[in-house]
Every structure is written in C-alpha cells, then in structure tokens.
Amino acid sequence: MIGADQTLALGLEVFHKPADLAATAAQLDQLRAKTHRLHAAVALVRDDLLVWSHVETAELTMRAFSKAERDEVLALEGEAILGSVGGYRLEGPSIRLFETVTGDYFTILGLPLLPLLAALRRYEPQLFAKADA
C-alpha cells in the first residue's frame, strides 16, 4: 500500500486544509509576503509493516498580493481549493499569488514521485511477492 500526505508550516505554525473559503482567505492572508514550507510524505506498507518512508520539502514565497487579487483567485478556484493544505493550487489560478517556488514540482502537488518510483524499484519484491501459504 502507498500512503501520502502533506503539511504546511509557517515557522512553528502548522496549517491544515481550510474548512471553507473564508478560512482559505484567512490562511492566504497569513501566508502573504512570507516564505512557508510544504512537506510531502510518502510511505510504502505491506502487511501493516512500514517498508519505506520519505519526506520532501519545498519552500514557497507568496507575493504581497492585494485582497482583491486574493478574492479573484478564490473565485476562480472555487470550492476545489478546499482539498489543498495550502489553500492554493500551483497548477491553477493560485500560481499568480507566488513570488518564488523552490522544490520538486511533484512534492508541491503532494507526492514525492521520483523518490517513490525509486523505492518501488528497490522494494518491489518485498511489496508484491505472494505471502507464504
């Protein structure tokens, strides 16, 4: 089994997926003109045993955007944005809120894909071998 999830940290504060668009707006206001870290973790498990795990981190800096810019992005993104821990999607209109992005694109999307593929190649026999009868 493959499991993956993300967390977002601004200093010592950890963010979770916003509950609604108002919470998303408030979260984006907290992130405005600051650099935050997006952590994406992935794990391989077989028979309830952890076989491998990995965490990648990306750093993202938001511009000093206006309330009007924020509201326009939220209107374009709609409720789909609520599935994102950051309250934004780089693959959508939210990209316009950013000044710099440093890190692996797949990590930012929520799955450190290249490390996962390497682990699947390495651990394939352990993960997919038939259990002894």
List, for residues 110-129, the tens digit of each pLDDT value: 899 999 999 999 998 777 77
The mean pLDDT value for 86-113 works out to 93
In a domain, 105, yes or no: yes
Instruction: Give residue 128's pLDDT.
Output: 75
In a domain, 26, yes or no: yes
111 backbone dihedrals φ, ψ, rounded to 5°: -145, 110
List, for residues 28-53, the tens digit of each pLDDT value: 999 999 999 999 999 999 989 999 99
C-alpha distances in angstroms, 29 versus 14, 52, 73, 88? 15, 36, 13, 12
Instruction: Give residue 124's pLDDT.
Output: 85
How far apart are alpha carbons 120 and 114 in whole angstroms? 10
The mean pLDDT value for 48-63 works out to 96
- Domain of 38, CATH number, reads 3.90.950.10
Residue 35 CB partners (closer than 8 Å, separation 6+): 59, 60, 61, 100
The mean pLDDT value for 57-73 works out to 97
* CA end-to-end distance (rounded Å), the chain: 20
% pLDDT > 70, the chain? 97
If pLDDT is split at 50, 70 and 90, which confidence band does 133 have?
very low
Q: Residue 123 is part of which domain span?
A: 2-128
* Tokens at 90, concatenated: 């780089």
Model confidence, pTM: 0.86
In a domain, 133, yes or no: no
Active site residues: 5
How far apart are alpha carbons 80 and 82 in whole angstroms? 5
Number of domains in the chain: 1
In a domain, 19, yes or no: yes
